[in-house]
Amino acid sequence: MPGVYIAYPFCAQKCTYCNFASGVLPRDLEAPYVNALLRELRATAWPWTPETVYFGGGTPSRLDPGSLGAVLAAIPGRPYLEATLEAAPATFPHSHAALWREAGINRVSLGVQSFVESESRRSGRRHTAQNVAEDVAALRRAGIENFNIDLIAGLPGQTASSWRASLEQTARLAAPHVSVYMLEIDEDSRLGREVLFNGERYGAPDVPSDSAIADFYETAVAFLHAEGIERYEISNFARPGFASLHNLKYWQLAPYLGFGADAHSFDGISRWANVEDAAEYVRLVEAGLTPRTAPEPAHLSEEKFFVSLRLASGIRPTPDERERYSAPLHRFLAEGLLEERDGALRLTNRGVLLSNEVFQEFLQPCQL
């Protein structure tokens, strides 16, 4: 069944590693943005009833609970199988957790990134390990047992021992879901630009090497496995029954509709997106104009390989797909980047670390 993504790009500060279309936007834009979201949602002719909702950002936990409830009320399908809210640790009143639950939120994703204070401070985060523990306790008191801990491998100054400290703190909190992202170096983040151009700011000279980051990731895979938290997607790990139902839609090519600035949509055939700039999004909606780009046909065969190979369950190619991609499939099997079991192709552990090399053989330009 389809899902709904809500983009809320407002943040209290821009983290150095962030390459999303979010940031410290004018506070007086937030109320018009919420009104634009509501207008876009209410104008939608729903072709189906969504079963999952995901509030991403930005920092959607900044939304006042009344506005959050109004946005959810404009989306059919409540109660949803899963309704996730992204939250920055130590930035929300704990009394809000019960209001989130009342509004329909039943899952919260905490953008921890690191439990080591020196690492989080250099990245633009303001929390401590104790803050996160208090946030988790507040969620549980409110009846939100399903929560995710985001971690980043490769932050400036990170070491093998500090990385293990973050993993151990995650285990102490008994997180049912953990996301582990290897630091992305590109020109869309301040830290990435500094690294690419040999700059000194944001701790760029202290970013661990690629091999160290790969070691951190493999350490996480083994550590979480020992805790009963299994990898089901390259960056996502869960206890049984706690895989993200909404995010699985992206990897299984299920339909979803996106609302808000830079939100993307997929109806099973075509993809489109809203304008990236939040102010432009508001201006267009207030003027009664569409904020959406023109739909473009999805490259489903190529995308199927790209997204399905991210999953631990892998992909079962059709005979036509096996013939079409016979050369790269044989090469990656021979090189030990892919393995085949019971008719399903999967990335090996080495293939996960070199997954971009594998994906490039299949991926046409598209936006997920």
Q: 142-201: per-residue pLDDT in tens?
A: 999 999 999 999 999 999 999 999 999 999 999 999 999 999 888 878 888 888 888 988
Do 315 and 231 sit in the same domain of this protein? no
CATH number at residue 332: 1.10.10.10
Domain check: are 305 and 239 in the same one?
no
Give the structural domain span for 158: 3-251
| pLDDT (tens digit per residue) in 304-319 | 888 999 999 999 999 9
Residue 272 lies in a domain: no
- C-alpha to C-alpha distance for 163 and 219, rounded to whole angstroms: 9
Cα atoms found within 13 Å of the Cα of residue 41, Cβ hemisphere only: 23
Q: Structurally, how many domains does the chain consist of?
A: 2
Same domain, 18 and 75: yes
State pLDDT tens for residues 240-293: 999 999 999 999 999 999 999 999 999 999 999 999 999 999 999 999 999 999
- Asked if residue 269 is part of any domain, the answer here is no
Tokens of 123: 């990245």
Please indicate, yes or no, if residue 39 is contained in any of the structural domains.
Answer: yes
Pair (316, 235) in one structural domain: no
**Residues 177/146, Cβ–Cβ less than 8 Å:** yes
Shared domain check, 203 and 350:
no
The confidence score (pLDDT) of residue 368 equals 39
Asked if pLDDT for residue 366 goes beyond 60, the answer is no
State mean pLDDT over 332-352: 95
Is 17 in the same domain as 136? yes
* Cα-Cα end-to-end distance for the chain: 17
Same structural domain for residues 307 and 218? no
Q: Is residue 12 over pLDDT 70?
A: yes
pLDDT band at 59 (very low <50, low <70, confident <90, very high): very high
CA 244 to each of CA 10, 135, 180, 233, 241: distance values in angstroms, whole numbers, following the listed order: 23, 20, 14, 10, 9
pLDDT at 237 over 70: yes
**Average pLDDT taken over every residue of the chain:** 93
pTM (2 decimals)? 0.93
The domain boundary, picked from 251, 283, 309, lies at 251
SS3 139: helix
